Amino acid sequence: MSDPRILLASDNPILASAVVRHCGSLSGLGAVQIGNPGDAAALLADGEPAQFLLCVVDLALPFEAVKALAAAATVGGVPWLAVADCYSPEFRDLAQDLDAIDLVVAEAEDPQSVARFVDRLLKNRAVRILVVEDSAFMRLFLRRQLRRYQFRVHMAGSAAVALRILEQRPDITAVIIDYDMPGQNGVELTRTIRRRFRQREVCLIGISGKAPRSISAEFLKSGGDDYLHKPFEREELYCRVLHGVEAVERMLEIKRLERLRRMFLSMLAHDLKSPAGGIVGAANLILDGVCGEIGGEVREMAAVISQAGRRLCTLASNMQDLTRLETGRLEPALVASRLDALVMERVRLAEATAAGKGIRLEVRVPEVPVMLFDPDLLARLLDNLLSNAVKFSPAKTLVRLALWTTDDAVVVRVSDEGPGVLLEERHRLFRPFERLSAKPTAGEKSLGLGLAIAEGIVAAHGGRIWVESDPGQGAAFCFSLPLVASGPSVQDADCICS
């Protein structure tokens, strides 16, 4: 055999079938069964180096055979795992006495259990654990126990050494921290790690034998993920460490998928914009008569095409804005301009959509001083708020827009007579892709991006956005912008209801 494999020493055909089949599908490594314990022991002791990554031994075999297999695994440098069809203290003691990695129960109802444990052990070979312990004896003890489960282990005798290792090894997944250390105790080191490595996903586990049991709460409140009181069983150590490692792995996978989502949205938005713009341009040429005289039906179809193309352009812009917001790359191009004029321009555009539902727009927009803002971004912000109000308003109702100034800010309020926002749903309101219980009144479609983008645009201008709503009484979305834009800073303003 040229490739490392998993050796199963068992004469149980059901166990063999489950382990061989599922190990191959889970880990991608082949498993081979040998029913004769003597042949298996000889293969372990005399085989090629690294021929086997792991040996699985069925404790249902005769005691002498299990003992011989354990000795052969030790001689061959192959870690081995004890398997039994049920748990018993005798099986556990036997596995520990013969220096097995652990005892795994192979239940008939869950034939994949052994294969999952094996797969996890193989994954552990790529996981790095840092042990921070001032006692050399305890450091070596913890290293031995963790290596038993195939982890890669780094050791530090002080907080200063631990911080240096964390700086040099960004791939460390978990840190085991003793409380009673000179210079900086474990709780203080936990706080330092959380403060210094804010962006890193790492599990912190506190341990102590001398400190009072209440110190566990201090570890957890300081940013620790778990706590173990010495002395502890090695299975307990593994379960706690594994729980933290898998939590970190899940979070890293979530972040990876999030990066892929952002990349996909950015590519999709970029690829949609050009054809959508071409569709709108072609339709508008037809409507303008550039292609010759057209009949009423053709004009109507060209108008529908143009409107659908504009919606597609808006969707592409929203997706592009969202990716910029999430990556912190939405930077407004500030120019001196009149917000009141921009508001009236966007209201006129929104009136066409509102008229389709018999909705009337009531506007109160006085003149305001010239301000610094990005006209393109503010236009999208206003479009999102106005289209949102129309979308959730019943037919033949009123949408109101009011603008006014305070001592240091300008405030815009867009209100509707729709279903409003439930109090328990408000914390989800400005999240991307969120859809609340209130539904558009005419079945309009939405990705749930408008309000998330609106919040990002306001924040990029140093302002704030909020909602005022009583369920069943409509909703009012307000935002305030500083009259003098001098970088992102939060400005508070009271919203005066009209």
Q: Is the pLDDT of residue 323 over 80?
A: no
d(CA 474, CA 395): 13
Q: Quick one: average pLDDT of 92-115?
A: 85
Q: What does the pLDDT read at residue 28?
A: 60
Total residue count of the chain as it appears in this document: 498
Contacts of 42 (CB under 8 A, 6+ apart): 72
pLDDT at 200 over 90: yes
What pLDDT is stored for residue 263 in this prediction?
A: 77
Q: Return the amino acid letter for 284.
A: N
pLDDT > 90? residue 306: no
> What pLDDT shows up at residue 497?
35
Query: Does residue 337 contact residue 344 with C-beta atoms inside 8 Å?
Result: no
Listed range (60-69, 172-181, 414-423, 489-498) with the worst mean pLDDT: 489-498
C-beta neighbour count of 416 within 10 angstroms: 26
In percent, the amount of the chain with pLDDT more than 70 equals 93
Specify the range with the lowest mean pLDDT, choosing from 188-192, 273-277, 467-471, 491-495.
Answer: 491-495
pLDDT in tens, 396-420: 999 999 999 998 899 999 999 989 8
**pLDDT value at position 49?**
54
At residue 488 the predicted structure's pLDDT band, cuts being 50, 70 and 90, is: very low
Among the residue ranges 153-157, 435-439, 459-463, 478-482, the one predicted with the least confidence is 435-439
Q: Is the model's pLDDT at 50 over the cut of 70?
A: no
Stretch 338-362: mean pLDDT: 91
Q: What is the pLDDT of residue 485?
A: 44
- Across the range 424-451, mean pLDDT stands at 81
pLDDT at 491: 37
Which of 63-67, 124-128, 348-352, 455-459 shows the lowest mean pLDDT across its residues? 348-352
pLDDT of residue 25: 60
Assigned token pair, 300: 């109507």
pLDDT class of 484 with cuts at 50, 70, 90 = low
Contact, 125 vs 173, CB < 8 A?
Answer: no
Count of CB atoms situated within 10 Å of the CB of 440: 14
Q: Phi and psi dihedrals of 195, rounded to 5?
A: -75, -40
* pLDDT, position 4: 52
Q: Give, in order, the Cα–Cα distances in Å from 130 to each of 125, 147, 363.
A: 14, 12, 63
SS3 424: helix
State how beta strands 371-373 and 335-337 pair: antiparallel
Q: Tell me which of 416 and 329 has the higher pLDDT.
A: 416
Q: So what's the pLDDT on residue 40? A: 85
Longest C-alpha distance within the chain, in Å? 98
Mean pLDDT over the full length of the chain = 86
Cis peptide before 275 (omega within 30 of 0): no
Nearest Cα residue to 353 out of 299, 312, 307: 307
Q: How confident is the model at residue 493 (pLDDT cuts 50, 70, 90)?
A: very low
Place of tokens 């050791």: 155
d(C-alpha 59, C-alpha 9), whole Å? 9
Stretch 236-252: mean pLDDT: 95
CB 19 within 8 A of CB 8: yes
Pairing of strands 203-208, 398-405: unpaired
Distance CA 192, CA 366 (A): 53
Write down the pLDDT at residue 183. 86
Q: What is the pLDDT of residue 495?
A: 37
Triad 346, 350, 354: Cα angle to 5°: 160
0.85 exceeded by the pTM? no
Average pLDDT over residues 362-377: 92
- Report helix, strand or coil for 199: coil
pLDDT at 241 over 80: yes
User: Looking at residue 182, what is its pLDDT?
Assistant: 86
Query: If you compute the radius of gyration of the chain from its CA atoms, what whole number of angstroms results?
Result: 33
Per-residue pLDDT, averaged over 265-277, amounts to 78
Judge contact between 390 and 353, C-beta under 8 A.
Answer: yes
Looking at residue 489, its pLDDT comes to 38
Distances (CA, A) of 458 to 214, 461, 480: 45, 5, 8
pLDDT of 477 over the 50 cut = yes
**What does the alpha-carbon distance between residue 389 and residue 474 come to, in Å, rounded to a whole number?**
9
Count H helices and E strands in the chain, helices first: 14, 17
What contacts 252, CB < 8 A, 6 or more positions away? Answer: 201
204 sits in which H/E element: strand 203-208
CB 398 within 8 A of CB 360: yes
Mean pLDDT of 84-109: 89
Please state, in angstroms and rounded to a whole number, the distance separating the CA atoms of residues 212 and 234: 22
Residue 264: per-residue pLDDT: 80
Long-range contact list for 357-361, CB < 8 A, 24+ apart?
Answer: 357/390, 357/393, 357/395, 357/396, 357/441, 357/442, 358/395, 358/396, 359/390, 359/393, 359/395, 359/396, 359/397, 359/398, 359/399, 360/397, 360/398, 360/399, 361/386, 361/398, 361/399, 361/400, 361/401
Cα 271 from Cα 260, distance rounded (Å): 16
Range name among 123-127, 211-215, 267-271, 295-299 with the lowest pLDDT average: 267-271
For the residues 183-203, what does the mean pLDDT come to? 94
Is residue 104 scored above 50 in pLDDT?
yes
Report pLDDT for 47: 62
Q: What is the pLDDT of residue 24?
A: 61
User: CB–CB of 205/237 below 8 Å?
Assistant: no
